[in-house]
Amino acid sequence: MNKMKKNFQSKTLLSLLLIITSIYATYSFQSTASEKNSKDSSTENSQSHTQNTILVFGDSLSAAYNIKREEGWVSLLQDFIQQQQINAKVVNASISGETTSGGLTRLPEQLKRTQPDIVILELGGNDGLRGFDLAETRKNLNQMITLSKQHNAQVILTGIHLPPNFGKTFTQRFYQIYQELASQEDVTLIPFLLDNVGTEKQLMQKDGIHPNSEGQPIIMQTVWKYLDPLLNQSSLGYKETTPDKNKES
C-alpha cells in the first residue's frame, strides 16, 4: 500500500513539473517574440525617420512632357537611387506650364507636406518664353529659395537658357538671374539643365523646347553630378557612384 502511495505521489509530482515547464516555455517564447517585434518596429521607424526626401519642383522639363512618366529624368533618378540602395526618395511636384508665380503659390504647402531635405528648383523657363518681367521672375525664385531654406532644405537651382530668337540682351539677362541668385543665396547651381541635350536635335522633341525620351538619361546624369555631393553631406552612408552612361542610354 505504501509502495502504491509513493508511486502515485511521484507521478503527481512529475505531472506538476511538466505543467510548470510547459507554462514557462510558452511565456519565454511569447516574451522573445514580443521583444523581436518591438526591435523590428523600432528599426523600421528609425529607417523611415532617417530617409532623406528630394523634392523636384519644376515645370514641363521635369514633368515628363509628352513622354511616358517612367521615361522622365525624375523617374530615372528615383530608379537609380533605389538601385544604389541610397536611403532617399524623390517626390516630383512638377507641373507642365508652371511659372515662378504659380510655383511660389504652391511651394509653401508642398514644403509642409513633404518636409524635403533637398529641393531641386527648376522653374523660370515659362516666364522667359512668355516674356514676363525679369525682376518679377528673380523675385519669385528668390522667395522660393528662402522658403526652402526656412524648412531646412538644401537647394539646387537649375539654370535655363532661352532660345536665341528672344534676342541676345534678353536671353543674357534672363540667364544671369540664375547665376546671381546662386551666388547671392549660396545654393548649388546646375549651369544648364539641358546640357548636351538642348543643342542636339535628335534628343529634342519637334517643338525644339522639350527633350525626348532619349535625352532624359543625360539630364538625369547632369542632375546627379550636382545632387551626389549634397547627399554625401547628408551622411547617408553610401558609396559614391556614377551612373552607367551606356546602361542609361
DSSP β-ladder status, 118-122 and 88-92: unpaired
- Compute how many other C-beta atoms are within 10 angstroms of the C-beta atom of residue 1: 5
Q: Which residues pair with 57 in a beta bridge?
A: 121
Cell of 129: 518664353
Q: Is 98 within 8 Å of 65 (Cβ atoms)? A: no
Rounded to the nearest 10°, the torsion over CA 184, 189, 192, 195 is 160
d(CA 22, CA 70): 56
Query: Taking the CA of residue 9 as centre, how many other CA atoms within 13 Å lie in the half-sphere pointing to its CB?
Result: 6
d(CA 22, CA 4): 27
Question: What's the maximum distance between 2 C-alpha atoms anywhere in the chain?
Answer: 119
Q: Which residues pair with 92 in a beta bridge?
A: 56
Q: Is 158 helix (H, G, I), strand (E, B) or coil?
A: strand
Q: Is 79 within 8 Å of 143 (Cβ atoms)? A: no
Q: Show which residues are catalytic.
A: 60, 207, 210
